[in-house]
A and B are shown apart, each in its own frame.
Chain A
């Protein structure tokens, strides 16, 4: 039973680190601020949550130790990290950072030109 649970822990931590690596590659490869924030806002959030869940399960199964702060930080990262990337993209848009040249749609254009 313990071994099966530890395989689950391994899957969680490995997939979390893979997702974080993917978002790092996304930051290097993607063309502009908005697509980069798209890559980092989603992929890192899920990656970190997955790593934290793996850590929580590891200590819960092997040491029989219920680490409530880890669960709290999972909820915390889930709530705050997308808001942070939203705010960064918003600040970038209002300080007139250029979109990628192949962008087809810019619904907020009139709003940006007003203020």
Chain B
């Protein structure tokens, strides 16, 4: 479909959706949001690209094999859960600490964020694997 209006508005709208997805992901600890809905929103941005451009162009824009994304996400989740075993505490024990970062000031860094990153990557990967597989079979 050769539609200039659609392409232009996609170029403007996709960064906003991506930003909102990242905001949902990082706000998940204190506000509604988190890895699942953030990942779905990121997948939604890529689905919008898939609607406007064809599948080969989108592969060239984002050269990621989404099956690897699922594996990486699961590795993140298992890694942060099993990492607690190294410190002689039960499986899935999380830790946090207040850190003074140079630009951001006093920030609390929590290992639950790493677990949530795993959820995010798995959700993005699974959604796009499903959609691309359905889209490819003619």
Contacts and interface: CB of A to CB of B under 8 A. Distances in A.
A79 B6 contact: no
Contact of B6 (A69, A72, A75, A87): A87
A97 interface: no
Contacts of A90: 3
A72 B16 contact: yes
Contacts of B20: 69, 72
A42 interface: no
Nearest to A83: B9
A79 B5 contact: no
Contacts of A72: 16, 20
B51 to A, nearest CB: 10
Interface string B45-68: 000000000000000000000000
B78 interface: no
Contacts of A79: 9, 12-13
A90 B3 CA distance: 10
By CB atoms of chain A within 10 A, which of B9, B12, B20, B23 has the most?
Answer: B9
A62 interface: no
Interface string B16-35: 10001001000000000000
B12 to A, nearest CB: 6
A80 B13 contact: yes
Contact of B5 (A69, A75, A76, A83): A83
Interface of A: 69, 72, 75-76, 79-80, 83, 86-87, 90
7 contacts: A72-B16, A76-B13, A79-B9, A79-B13, A80-B9, A83-B9, A90-B3
Interface of B: 3, 5-6, 9, 12-13, 16, 20, 23
